[in-house]
């Protein structure tokens, strides 16, 4: 595929994902608030956990401890009681320590830069980038295993790592896809697309990318080898 074709495919991908999302956006309270602390809490809760499970926990946690000051004063067992149902034992500790760090080191405000966000316990590159994107409107890529799945399938990217979400080149690829000024919208669309269409077991029959997806084209060829060889 030539450079022009590649660029064309990328813009088709972006356009179709955004179009699809117009009618398929999922509503969650952390998407409707502009409070960076609520968004940070949501991102920590969403680590390795589906949004539907996070929803009731987020609502309780956010209404009981809506600010870093309030959460920093909570007891560990109180936080564990609220978030324990989601698993990941350390999550309650991360939430509590992050709130304390924000109060002690950042004057009670969620940092708006990568270096400082990465100083918060339990916050890695994905969570920090998601907070910068969704809370501070930055055009930054966010690549977890779900978004990595879409990109590697559609573009047949040659990622050697067993955990493609950690591959630097995939982050760079995702960064180039973001339409200027639309980071939050585009990343939300990718998250929803991975949750509803390009799941582990993909729903290709409902997918608006079917004709440009390398994975789907390859699967079709494997299912119809004779027909395809005759062409
Ligand atoms: S065609 Fe299938 S594999 Fe490709 S992006 Fe759509 S759902 Fe995913």
For every residue of 99-142, DSSP letters joined together read HHHHHHHSTTS---SHHHHTTSTT--HHHHHHHHHHHH------
Closest ligand 1 atom to the C-alpha of 204? 2
Q: In this predicted structure, what is the pLDDT of residue 1?
A: 75
Mean pLDDT of 97-106: 98
Least confident of 90-99, 139-148, 188-197, 218-227: 218-227
Name the residue of 149, 150, 201 to mutate for ligand 1: max ligand atoms within 8 A of Cβ.
150
Who has greater pLDDT, 65 or 220?
65
Query: Tens of pLDDT along 117-167?
Result: 999 999 999 999 999 999 999 999 999 999 999 999 999 988 877 777 788
Residue 230 scores a pLDDT above 50: no
Residue nearest to atom 8 of ligand 1 (CA): 198
Mean pLDDT of 199-220: 94
Mean pLDDT of 190-215: 96
* ipTM of model over 0.95: yes
CA of 43 to the centre of ligand 1 (A): 26
Domains of the chain: 3-24+141-221 (1.10.1670.10), 33-136 (1.10.340.30)
Residue 80 scores a pLDDT above 70: yes
% of the chain exceeding 70 in pLDDT:
97
Q: In this predicted structure, what is the pLDDT of residue 93?
A: 96
Place 225 in a pLDDT band, splitting at 50, 70 and 90: low
Residue nearest to atom 4 of ligand 1 (CA): 213
Nearest to 82 by CA among 111, 113, 114, 41: 41
Q: In this predicted structure, what is the pLDDT of residue 2?
A: 80
How far apart CA 179 and CA 31 sit, in angstroms, is 20
The token pair that represents 43 in the structure block: 């991102």
Place 231 in a pLDDT band, splitting at 50, 70 and 90: very low
How far apart CA 18 and CA 11 sit, in angstroms, is 11
Residue 52 scores a pLDDT above 50: yes
């Amino acid at each position: 595929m030539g450079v022009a074709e590649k660029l064309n495919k990328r813009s088709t991908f972006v356009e179709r994902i955004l179009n699809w999302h117009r009618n398929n956006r999922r509503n969650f309270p952390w998407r409707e608030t502009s409070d960076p602390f609520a968004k940070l809490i949501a991102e920590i809760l969403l680590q390795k956990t589906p949004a539907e499970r996070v929803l009731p926990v987020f609502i309780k946690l956010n209404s009981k401890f809506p600010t870093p000051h309030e959460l920093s004063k909570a007891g560990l067992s109180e936080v564990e009681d609220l978030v324990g149902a989601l698993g990941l034992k350390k999550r309650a500790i991360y939430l509590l320590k992050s709130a304390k760090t924000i109060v002690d080191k950042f004057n009670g405000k969620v940092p708006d830069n990568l270096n400082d966000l990465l100083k918060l316990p339990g916050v890695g590159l994905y969570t920090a980038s998601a907070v910068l994107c969704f809370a501070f409107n930055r055009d930054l890529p966010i690549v977890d295993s779900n978004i990595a799945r879409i990109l590697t399938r559609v573009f047949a990217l040659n990622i050697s790592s067993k955990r493609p979400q950690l591959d630097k080149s995939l982050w760079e690829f995702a960064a180039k896809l973001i339409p200027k000024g639309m980071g939050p919208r585009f990343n939300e669309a990718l998250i929803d697309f991975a949750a509803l269409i390009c799941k582990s077991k993909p729903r290709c029959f409902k997918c608006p990318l079917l004709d440009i997806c390398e994975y789907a084209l390859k699967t079709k060829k494997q299912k119809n080898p004779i027909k395809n060889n005759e062409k």
